[in-house]
A and B are shown apart, each in its own frame.
Chain A
Amino acid sequence: MNVWKEHGLTEEEYTQIKALMQREPNYLELSLFGVMWSEHCSYKNSKAQLRKFPVTGPQVVQGPGENAGVVRLDGKLCAAFKMESHNHPSAIEPYQGAATGVGGIIRDIFAMGARPVASLDSLRFGSLDDARTKGLFRGVVAGVGGYGNCIGIPTVGGETFFHPSYHGNPLVNALCVGLVEEDKIFKGQATGVGNIVMLVGARTGRDGIKGASFASEELSDSDPDKRPNVQVGDPFMEKLLLEASLEVLEAGLVVGLQDLGAAGLTSSGSEMAGRAGSGLYIDLEKVPLREKNMEPWEIMLSESQERMLMIVEPSKVEAIEKVFDKWDLIASAVGEVTGDGHFTVRRGGEVLASVPAEFLTDKAPVNLRPAAEPEYFRALKKADCSQLRDWKNWTDLLKKLLASPNIASKRWVYEQYDSTIGTNTVVRPGSDAAVLRLSGSSGSPGSVKGMALAVDCNSRYTYLDPWRGGAIAVAEAARNVAVSGARPLAITNCLNFGNPEKPEIYWQFVQATDGMAAACSALSTPVTGGNVSFYNEYDGRAIYPTPTIGMIGVLENVEDRVTSDFKAEGDWVVLLGETLEELGASEAHFLLTGRDEGEVPFLDFEKEKKLHAFLVEAARNRFLASAHDCSDGGLAVALAECAIANAMPSPFKGTSLKGTLGVTLDWRGSVSPAAALFGESQSRAVISVSPGKWEAAKALLKKHNLPATLLGKTGGDAFSLRYNGALLVDCPLSHLARLWNDAIPEIME
C-alpha cells in the first residue's frame, strides 16, 4: 500500500505535502496531515462554496471559524450556537454515535465560555418498516436522550424524518445553544509565548482513532468492522468537565480554550496555534493515557471524548489544577506556546514531528469539484399528480397522512428527552419552535426577552430542486421561529450530502448552498457557522441532499410567545398567504404513489418576509391565540395539528384524555380541492384570533398587505372542512388524535 493511501491522502496531496515541507514527512507527520486534510477537518471540498454565505450583520458577534457562532440577544447577553453531524458513527453504533454527537456539540458551546442551556436534534432514518431502521431509530433517540438527560441540558425540540434514501446512512444532527455575556466570550487561540498548554478532562485511549477520516468515506455492509472508529461517551465526565471549565473561565484563569473533537489533540492543538499565528508543542510523555503502549500517532489521533485543551499563564497552572481536583478531574500541563509557528510533537526531549501549523490548518487543498446536473433533475419535474387531484375520500387521506411516521406525533421521541430541566423552557417540544426565557439565565437576571429555536429541512424538496429546496429550508426554519412570535436572527447548519467527488452530488451541494445563501441574504439571517458532512452514501447510493438549518430568533418579550395549538372555542381561524395549484413534491403525493416527483413549491422571498413581519408584530400586540406553519402535508394537516396538538395519550390504550379543540370551517378558493387541502404552497401559516382582537388583527393584515383567508371558527369535537360548498373532510377529532398519537409508538412497540 502506498504510504499516502494509508493516511487517506491522494498522491497529489502527498506531493503537495512534500513540496510544502521541502522534505519527506515522517509517519507521524503524515498522520497529522491525513486527518487535518480530511474533508471532515479541512472542508477542502466545500470551502470555496461556503465563502458565498452571508456571514455578517449587526446581530452577529462571532461568525464562522470559531468553535461556535455567537449572536446578540439582549444588550451584552449573547447566544453561542452551533450544529454538528454525527452520521457515520450513528450508522455503526447508534446509541454511542448519537450520544457523542450531543457531547461534542455541547463542548463546542462551553468552549466559547457559554453555559449550554438547550439542545435540539434533527434526525433522519430509512423507512420505519425495516427492522434495522427501527433499531437505529431506537438507539439514536436513546443516545441523544441518554447524554443530554444525564448532563442536564434540556433537549427542547427537533425534527424526525423517514425516507428510504437514508437507509443504512441515518443522519444525526445535534444543535446546542448556550448563553454568554459579550465580554466573556472565549476563543480557541493559543496566544502568549511561554503559556502552558493544558489537557483537561478524560484520559486518552484508543477509541475513535481516525474518526475524522472514517467520516470522509462512504458506508457499506462491512462497516460493523469499523466499530473501533466510534467513540464512547461519558456524560458524567462531561458534566464535571463543563462545571470545572466554566469555573476556571469565570475565575479568569484561562487564555484560550478548545474542545477535542474530530482528530483529537492534532486538530485542537494545530487549530489553536493556527488561529493565533503562534506555535505550540505537545509532549506525549505528559499526556495521561488510559491504555499502555500507545503509539505516538494513536495518542495524537485518538478521539477519546470529554477532553479540552486550555492555554494558561504559567502562574495560574496551580489554580487550575486545584479547581479540577475539586471535581476529581485531571488537568495536565502537556506543552507550551512557542511562537515558532510550528505544531510540534515531542516525547520528552525528542522531537517526533514538527510541522508549521498553517500547513495543517490553512494549506489543505481547496478543491473546486466538477459539478454536473443529474439526469433526474429535469425528468422528475414532470409529474403525474392525477391520483392526488382526483382522489375521492379526503377524510381517509388525511387520516393516512396523520398516521404516517413523517406527520405523526413525535411524542415517542421527545418524551425520551428531558425538556424541562433548567426551568427556562417556556415552549416545549411539539410546537413549531422551542422558546426559552432568558430571565434568570446566566448573566441576565432581568431580561424580559425570549429565544426561539427551530431546526428544519425538507429533503424531498432539496432532492427535486436543490436550489429552491435549500432556500425553502431557510425560509421554513425562519417561519417556524416567526410563528412563535420571534424575529429570526441567524442560522447555523449541517450540510449532509453524498460523495462530492461525484459531479451530480457536487452539483446538488452547490445548488442547495446557493439557494440557502440567497434566502439568508433575503431574510437577513446570516450564517454563523455549521458543519459539512459528505460521503453520506450506503452501498454507493447517496442520501437525499439534506442541508439542515438551525435557526435562532429573539422575542422582545417572552410573554409574547405563541404556540401552535388552538386555545379557545369561538376563535377565528385564518389562513395567511396564498395557496397555488401545487401538488408536486408533496407528502400526500408521496404517500399515494411512493414517488418523489414534481415541481417543488414556489418561494417568493418578499412574500415570506411580509408573513414574518406580520407574525412578529401580531405576536407583539398579543393578537394571536395560536399560529402554526403550514408545510408538510398542507393546510389539512396543519389545521389538524392545531386541533390535536395537546391531545394527551391516555394510559389506557386507544383513548385520548383531553386537549383537543375542533373546527368547523367553510371557505372558498380558486385551486382544486387537492391543492387546497394537501398542496404545500410556501409562505403560509394558520392562525387563530379571538373575536375581540379580530378587527385589530385585520387592520394589521392590511398594513402588511398580507393576503388572508377567513376559514371559520374553532369549537366542538368535530373536524369539518367545507371548501367551495362541498364537505371534504368530516371526522370526530378523537379519531384523528388517536391515529396521530399512536402511529409511532405502535410501530416501535
Chain B
Amino acid sequence: MNMNINMKMKAAVVVFPDSNGDRDAKRAIETLGIPVRFVWHKESSIEDFDLIVLPGGFTFGDYLRTGAIARYSPVMEEVVRQAKRGAKVLGICNGFQILTEAGLLPGVLLRNRGLLFLGRDVWLRVENNATPFTSAYAQHQVIRLPIAHGDGNYYIDDEGYKRLEGEGRIVFRYCLPNGVAPNGVAPNGVAPNGVAPNGIAPNGAKGDVAGIVNEEGNVLGLMPHPERLVEPILGGQDGRGVFESLLNAVCGRVN
C-alpha cells in the first residue's frame, strides 16, 4: 500500500462527551496509513476534511433520545457544511443516530425490538456497492460485523422506505449467513417469501435495514461496527472494506 498517497487523505473523528468508539475508529483508519485528527465537539470551525467520522458511543449519556443532544454540538454545523461540500461523512451506531437527528439522513432509530441491548455479530449483505463506502465489496457480498446497541431499530414511513429502496440508498441489509435477505431480493433473484415475515434484523429494523446513504451518496449511517473488524486477530476483517472504499474514493485506486 502506498503510504504517501494515503497520507494525503484527511480524516477526522469527532469526539463528543461519551463518544466511546472514537479511539477504535481512529485506530481502524490508521491501519490503512491514513492520519486521523480527533475533533472536539465544541470546535465550531474546522479545516476541510475528506472524511468525517461520527463514532459510536452514548453521547451525553443518551438519556434523552439517542443523538438528540449531540446534534446541537457546535461541530455539527461544520459537519453539515462539509457534507454539503461533498466530504464523506460516516456515522457508526450512535453516529448514525446523530445523523438522523441532524437531518442528514432520513428515518429514526427506535429501541430494539425485545428492548434488550444486543452485542453480537450479524451478517450483512452489501445491497449497493456503487457508493464511496462500499466499492471495495462485491455487489451482494455477505459480510460479518459486530453490533452493539440498544436503539438500532430503523424506522421510516412506507413512502420514505420505498424511496430509499428505489434509489439504491439501502446500502447494508441484515441477512442470513448464506446471504438470504428475506426482505430483499436473494442473490438468485428469488425472494423467499414467508420465511421471516417480521424480518430477521435482530433489532427489528424496517426492511432489515442496517445502513443507508443520503441522496448525494456521500453520507453513510450504519448500526454495525466496521471499525471493530479490520484485523484478522479480531476475528475477521470484513469491516476493512468500508475504509478501503473511502480511500479509493478520495485518493483513487491505490492497490
Residues of A at the B interface (CB closer than 8 Å) are: 142, 145-146, 149-152, 234-237, 239-240, 327-328, 414-423, 425-426, 428, 437, 440, 558-559, 648, 650-652, 657-658
> Do A145 and B117 contact each other (CB < 8 Å), given the known contacts A420-B228, A652-B195?
yes
B225 interface hit (Cβ, 8 Å): yes
Q: How far does the alpha carbon of A327 sit from the alpha carbon of B62 in the complex, in Å?
A: 16
Q: Which residues of B contact A559 (CB under 8 A)?
A: 233
Q: Could you count the A-B residue pairs with CB atoms below 8 Å apart for me: how many are there?
A: 100
Closest 10 CB pairs of A and B: A152-B20, A236-B61, A418-B148, A651-B200, A150-B58, A239-B18, A418-B119, A420-B146, A423-B24, A415-B120
A416 touches B116 (CB 8 A): yes
From B21, B196, B230, give the contact of A152 (CB < 8 A): B21
A416 touches B63 (CB 8 A): no
Most chain B beta-carbon contacts within 10 A, residue among A145, A440, A651: A651
From B17, B117, B119, B233, give the contact of A437 (CB < 8 A): B233
Given A152-B58, A328-B17, A418-B148, 12 additional A-B pairs, CB 8 A: A142-B117, A149-B58, A149-B150, A150-B58, A234-B61, A236-B18, A239-B20, A239-B58, A423-B24, A423-B227, A423-B228, A426-B234
Q: Which residues of A contact B65 (CB under 8 A)?
A: none
Q: How far does the alpha carbon of A263 sit from the alpha carbon of B126 in the complex, in Å?
A: 54
B24 touches A422 (CB 8 A): yes
User: Residue-by-residue, is B31-71 near A (CB-CB < 8 Å gives 1, otherwise 0)?
Assistant: 00000000000000000000000001110111100000000
A419 touches B233 (CB 8 A): no
B250 interface hit (Cβ, 8 Å): no
B228 touches A421 (CB 8 A): yes
Q: How far does the alpha carbon of A476 sit from the alpha carbon of B78 in the complex, in Å?
A: 55
User: Residue-by-residue, is B215-255 near A (CB-CB < 8 Å gives 1, otherwise 0)?
Assistant: 00000000001011011011100000000000000000000
B177 interface hit (Cβ, 8 Å): yes
> Do A417 and B119 contact each other (CB < 8 Å), given the known contacts A236-B61, A426-B235?
yes
Residues of B at the A interface (CB closer than 8 Å) are: 17-18, 20-21, 23-24, 27-28, 56-58, 60-63, 116-120, 146, 148, 150, 176-177, 195-196, 200, 202, 225, 227-228, 230-231, 233-235
Q: Which residues of A contact B60 (CB under 8 A)?
A: 236
From A151, A234, A420, A558, give the contact of B119 (CB < 8 A): A420
Q: Which residues of A contact B148 (CB under 8 A)?
A: 149, 418, 420-421
Q: How far does the alpha carbon of A118 sit from the alpha carbon of B88 in the complex, in Å?
A: 32
> Do A657 and B176 contact each other (CB < 8 Å), given the known contacts A149-B117, A152-B20, A421-B21?
yes
Q: Which residues of B contact A437 (CB under 8 A)?
A: 233
Q: How far does the alpha carbon of A152 sit from the alpha carbon of B17 in the complex, in Å?
A: 12
For residue A179, give the distance in angstroms from its CB to the closest CB of chain B: 13
For residue A184, give the distance in angstroms from its CB to the closest CB of chain B: 18
Q: How far does the alpha carbon of A328 sit from the alpha carbon of B231 in the complex, in Å?
A: 36
Q: Which residues of A contact B195 (CB under 8 A)?
A: 652
Nearest chain A residue, comparing its CB with the CB of B59: A236
Q: How far does the alpha carbon of A145 sit from the alpha carbon of B177 in the complex, in Å?
A: 27
For residue B100, give the distance in angstroms from its CB to the closest CB of chain A: 20
B17 touches A651 (CB 8 A): no
Q: Which residues of A contact B233 (CB under 8 A)?
A: 426, 437, 558-559
Nearest chain A residue, comparing its CB with the CB of B195: A652
For residue B210, give the distance in angstroms from its CB to the closest CB of chain A: 14
Q: List 20 A-B contacts (CB under 8 A).
A: A146-B117, A236-B58, A236-B60, A236-B62, A239-B58, A240-B18, A327-B17, A328-B17, A415-B118, A416-B116, A416-B118, A420-B225, A421-B148, A422-B23, A423-B230, A423-B234, A426-B233, A426-B235, A651-B196, A658-B177
Q: How far does the alpha carbon of A558 sit from the alpha carbon of B231 in the complex, in Å?
A: 14
B58 touches A235 (CB 8 A): yes
Q: How far does the alpha carbon of A419 sit from the alpha carbon of B120 in the complex, in Å?
A: 8
Q: Which residues of A contact B227 (CB under 8 A)?
A: 423
Q: How far does the alpha carbon of A658 sit from the alpha carbon of B146 in the complex, in Å?
A: 17
Nearest chain B residue, comparing its CB with the CB of A146: B117
Q: How far does the alpha carbon of A240 sit from the alpha carbon of B176 in the complex, in Å?
A: 39
